[in-house]
Amino acid sequence: MRALLLVCLSAGCLAQRPKPCSSPPLMTGSLSVSTQNEKLGAFAKYTYDALGQRIRLREFGSYDNKTFHLDVLLLYRKGVMYKISYRNHTCYKKRLNRDFHPLAIPKDASLVGQVVLGSSSGPGQGVLVNTWTGQLQMRNKTARYMSTVTEFGCVPVTTLFHSTRAGWMVTSFFNNVIGLSDPQQLIPPSFCKDAKLEKKEGEDPATFYSLF
């Protein structure tokens, strides 16, 4: 990283103000989610494909002191999500809101600042990150967010959402790699073939956020 910083300093790239950015379109990694009121604590492995608008989440955690396990495949282009259980070989198919939110810093975000996590004094000791803040419209409510991504690569590090119900919700990303380490994760397993679309009267299609 030191070499990169030196190149940047001499080329003047750090003289430019950071700009809102989009994360790599294909990513695989892990994330943890927790809320300030300690009701929710979860850990997930994710596979993310912004090109095909597909997300796979294999999650376990606890909500209200009850543990849960969730394995979902979100296919935004088709407007469906699958709830998958390998143990029981069952698959539930539900409607999904088609609004795919790519991992990106919104264009109207404000820069909070640029810092080094760890240290820039030696190789491998730190990473340069930018923190952004703003407001998002979520289900007719505005929610404040604070989002940290790496300066090089726009890889997500932490996202905070503030809701009046649960206070701050912290999502930490880690072990992210660029690309799909297992593309098959984004294809419904064979036992999902016969799953019928569950439609409940008056129920809104699921969104990414309604999963948590």
Q: Which residue lies nearer to a copy of itself by CB, 85 or 120? A: 120
Side chain identity at 189, as an amino acid letter?
P
Among 22, 67, 119, 210, binds a copy of itself (CB under 8 A): 119
Binding span for a copy of itself by CB under 8 A among 81-89, 127-135, 182-190, 197-205: 127-135
Tokens of 152: 């090089």
Of the two residues 30 and 163, which places its CB atom closer to a copy of itself in the complex? Answer: 30
Angstrom distance (rounded) from CA 105 to CA 114? 14
Stretch that binds a copy of itself, among 50-58, 59-67, 82-90, 113-121 (CB under 8 A): 113-121
Among 14, 21, 25, 36, binds a copy of itself (CB under 8 A): 36
C-alpha 116/C-alpha 8 separation (Å) is: 15
One of 53, 85, 120, 163 touching a copy of itself (CB under 8 A):
120
Instruction: Name which position in 42, 50, 57, 155 contacts a copy of itself (CB under 8 A).
Output: 155
| 116 forms part of the interface with a copy of itself (CB under 8 A) | yes
Q: How far is the CB of 209 from a copy of itself (least distance, A)?
A: 22
Residue 184 dihedral angles phi and psi, to the nearest 5°: -65, -20
| CA dist., res. 156 & res. 154, Å (int) | 6
Among 10, 87, 88, 123, binds a copy of itself (CB under 8 A): 123
Pairing of strands 66-75, 156-163: unpaired
∠ CA 95-100-103, nearest 5°, is: 140
Query: Whole-angstrom Cα distance, residue 122 to residue 116?
Result: 12
Q: Is 110 in the site for a copy of itself (CB under 8 A)?
A: no
Tell me if 168 sits within 8 A of 157, measured CB to CB: no
Q: Are strands 90-95 and 197-198 parallel, antiparallel or unpaired?
A: parallel
Residues near a copy of itself, by CB under 8 A:
1, 3-5, 24, 27, 29-30, 36, 115-129, 150-153, 155, 157, 174-179
